[in-house]
Every structure is written in structure tokens, then in C-alpha cells.
Structure 1
Amino acid sequence: MHRTHPLPPYLINRYHGWKATTYADNKPWYRLLAEKGQRPRAMIISCCDSRVHVTSIFGADQGEFFIHRNIANLVPPYDASGGQHGTSATIEYAVMNLNIAHLIIMAHSHCGGAAGCDQMCAGTAPELEDKSSFVGRWMDILRPGYDRVAHIEDEAERLRALEKETVLVSLDNLTTFPFVESAIDEGRLTMHGLWLDIGSGELEQYIHSTGTFTPV
């Protein structure tokens, strides 16, 4: 039996506040979204971190972004062998069914996933190396990125570099998806890489021609 409980009162109060204000002021728009379906122009793959709120950052309304969140905003390599591939399924739906024009990977500072990968690959987090660790096996995706920055001795500098590697690894893995590569080749899709400094609010984008992250 599922042991569910009623919502905490503060969430119920917030819901009623939203229904009486935001929803009430935009009721025709919500009904149009319900009746006509979603037509987002962009998909954003961001971290689960509660400090990263992409709709607020870009001032987006309902229906603008197709959003997928996971630990460290990672995209696994294409794998058609079966199994549960939540991130891959979301990308497929966005590209093949929603025909998004932009696919954005958004990383951030002080990322716990990147820090965990750093510790695991350095041998200081045996609990993540255990085969039963879901987090550890997910962070295996980032190992190629760790190998590229492992030589950096300063810990803070290495972690920041690894956070940006979450973007580069994911962009590389996206190109292994045949339908993503086809959409790019046909000019129907562009990919973008972002890194957000939570404390300063500064946003950087990856520039392929220079191989660097620069302020937007």
C-alpha cells in the first residue's frame, strides 16, 4: 500500500495563491495550452539542483520551455539496447515530436554531482563506486570529463572546470543520437551550452570556435 500523506499546508496555501492570481490573470492562455497542446521552441536540460530555476532566469512563461532535469545535467551516450533511458526518451520526444529548434545544456556552479564525480574518480568516495549506487553509475557518464581536468591541482579550479565538462560531455553525447545529428545537419536544430554562477548570477555560454566559455 502506498503510504501517502496530505500536502503540507504551506504548499496548499501557495497553490491557492497561484490559482487566485497567476492562473486567474492568464486563464485564456492556460486553456489554449490545454486545448492546442505545447509548442516549445527550446528544450533545456538542467541540473536537479533547487537553486537553478531556468524559467525564472529567462523569464519564461508556461509553454515556452520543454525542461528535463537530472543530476549534473548529463546526457548519456546513445544506447538502443533497451532498459530505462529517461533522459534519452525525453530528448527523442523533444526532437522528433515537438520539433524543438534549440537544445540547451545548462550547468551551474557548486554542483554536487560534479563534486561527487571528482571524489569518486579520485577514490575518496567508495560509496559511489559501489555497483548498487544509482548516483555513482550515473556519474560514470562524466568520467571522460574528469580525465580531462584531473591534472588541475587547485580543487576549486578543478571543480569549476569539471562543472563545465558536464556541458561538453553532454554536447558530445548528444551528437551520438542519430535523430539529433540529422536535425542539426538539416538546419532544424541548434545546440547550446551554458554555465551559471549561482552566487553572482553571471551566465556563460560555450563558444565552439574558440573552445571556451564566455559571458553572454
Structure 2
Amino acid sequence: MTSTPAETQTNDDPKGIPLPPQLIEGYADFRGNRLREEQGRFRHLADVGQRPPVLLIGCCDSRVSPEVIFDAGPGEIFVVRNIGALVPPFAIDPDPHETSAAIEYAVLALKVAHIVVMGHAQCGGIRAFAQGQDEEFQPLSPANFIGKWKSLIQPAADRIGPPAGDFDHYCESLSYASIIQGIANLRTYPWLKAREDAGELSLHGAYFGVANGNMTALDEARGRFVPVAPPANVRPKS
């Protein structure tokens, strides 16, 4: 089958556009506002390519958009999102590895200076893993893609022990432990670890509160997450 070139004429009938109305409205707003304001930057990125300093590994959850949370412009963050913001350990086998491919590209091609693993509150992937330890919990489909993927959480669960007490608190603790495990898994990539050891790459963990917008970041030296409070002299971007 030959490809069909995109039509260039305008379509004034939204009902005739094969996209959800919400996306059409959002795109119209983008064209009329942000694109006008940042047209020069988009053109520059189109000409010279991308060179983002940060790779962010986040969750697919629609409530947790890294570009929104960090007020990022085009070309500023290289984002890979998956169920639970999980990082698979380094492995060489014939299976496809989407998240590992993104890590490989970000580190070896884009040469990012920072990698952030960002989990969040009320994470469905983390909760599904915790519930999956109950024999009564059923997979969403016979293929159980989510179950196979969230098995990556098991080392973090082993570290904190079985659920006890308040279940919501356990899920929060598991989210934090999973972020720490994700950073440990990043260090299993030999070429990534080499760049970190050379001082060319820094690894970070972050946790975002959906309801209150609060963020904590991993202080590896102290083994704890600390509140992110921007200094008074740091002003939001205009």
C-alpha cells in the first residue's frame, strides 16, 4: 500500500476531521496561542534537532503530565511514560524493550545530563500490584499484560515487606520503594553507569502528589525523600 500525502487545504467542518473533538479544540488553542508565542523555538528545533538535558521516566497516568508539572517548553524534557513509571533492569534478549530503548537513545544519542524517575500518589499500577497479591484479584484480560509488566515492582515489594495496616499507606510506601528500585535498575545499564561514574550523568527520584501538587525528591545520601521547595530567588518562567 502506498502512503497518502497529507492534504494541505483547510477543513472548516470539525465533524469531518478524524480526531476526537477535545483534541481538535486543544490543537486549535495551541495553534492560536502557544505556537504563535514559540514559533521561533519550534523552527529552531526542527532545523537543529533536539538536545534535552533531562530524561524523565514517568507514569502513563493522565493526571501526571511531566511537561505540565515542570512547565517545560518544547525540546526541554525527553519523556518516556509507562504503567507505574517502572524501569526494567538491563537485559540482552530477542524481546522488544520499549523503555530500555528510550533510555539507550537518551543516554547514548542525546547524552542527557539527568535522568529522573518520577512516581506519584494514587498510582493505579502500584495499587494493582498490591491488590494482585490477593488471590481474589483478577487480571483485566487473559493476556495479563499489566500483570507481567508490574512484576518489575516485586523487588521493591520484597524490600518493604507484605502489606500491613493501612492499605493506602502501604501503596505510598511501595511507590517510594519502586522509585528507588528504578534508580538501582538504571545502574545495571553498563554504559549508563559509566557515564554516571564519570560525572557526566546524574540520577534522581521524585514523587508527585496529585491532589496537592506537592513534590518530594530522593536524597540518596540520607535515604529519604525530601520536600521540593524552590528557593525564594527562583521565579517561575514568564
**TM interval, short-chain normalised:** over 0.9
In the alignment, which of 165, 169, 172 is matched to residue 184 of structure 2? Answer: 172
1:183 and 2:190 are equivalent in the alignment: no
In the alignment, which of 129, 132, 136 is matched to residue 147 of structure 2? Answer: 136
Q: Which runs of 5+ in 1 are unaligned?
A: none
1:121 and 2:133 are equivalent in the alignment: yes
* TM-superposition CA deviations, 1:145-188 (whole Å, max 9, x none): 11223153221211110111220111111111111111101111
Q: Which amino acid aligns with 1:109?
A: A
**What corresponds to 2:235 in structure 1?**
none
Q: Which amino acid aligns with 1:49?
A: D
**Cα offset for 1:103?**
0.2
Relative to structure 1, is the Cα distance of residues 134 and 167 closer, same or farther in structure 2, using a 3 angstrom cutoff? same
Answer with 75-84 or 86-95: which moved more: 75-84
Identical columns (%): 36
Relative to structure 1, is the Cα distance of residues 16 and 109 closer, same or farther in structure 2, using a 3 angstrom cutoff? same
**What corresponds to 1:195 in structure 2?**
207
1:80-159 paired onto structure 2 within 5 Å:
80-127=92-139, 132-149=143-160, 150-159=162-171
* TM-superposition CA deviations, 1:26-63 (whole Å, max 9, x none): 21111000000001000100000011011121111000
**Cα offset for 1:90?**
0.2
1:8 and 2:5 are equivalent in the alignment: no
**What corresponds to 1:54 in structure 2?**
66
Answer with 22-31 or 40-49: which moved more: 22-31
In the alignment, which of 16, 24, 49 is matched to residue 36 of structure 2? Answer: 24
**Cα offset for 1:131?**
7.5
* TM-superposition CA deviations, 1:184-206 (whole Å, max 9, x none): 01111000000111111110011
Q: Is contact 1:102-1:190 (8 Å) kept?
A: yes
Tell me the SS of whatever aligns to 1:72.
coil
**What corresponds to 1:67 in structure 2?**
79
Q: Matched residues in 2 for 1:148 and 1:48: separation? A: 25
Q: Matched residues in 1 for 2:134 and 2:223: separation? A: 26
Q: Matched residues in 2 for 1:32 and 1:13: separation? A: 26
Q: Using CA pairs below 8 Å that are at least 6 residues apart, which structure has the higher relative contact order? A: 1
Count residues with an aligned counterpart.
212
Query: TM-score, normalized by length of structure 2?
Result: 0.84
* TM-superposition CA deviations, 1:81-140 (whole Å, max 9, x none): 121100000000000000000000000000000000001123332427x88311000010
Relative to structure 1, is the Cα distance of residues 211 and 123 closer, same or farther in structure 2, using a 3 angstrom cutoff? farther
Query: TM-score, normalized by length of structure 1?
Result: 0.93
Q: Matched residues in 1 for 2:191 and 2:142: separation? A: 31
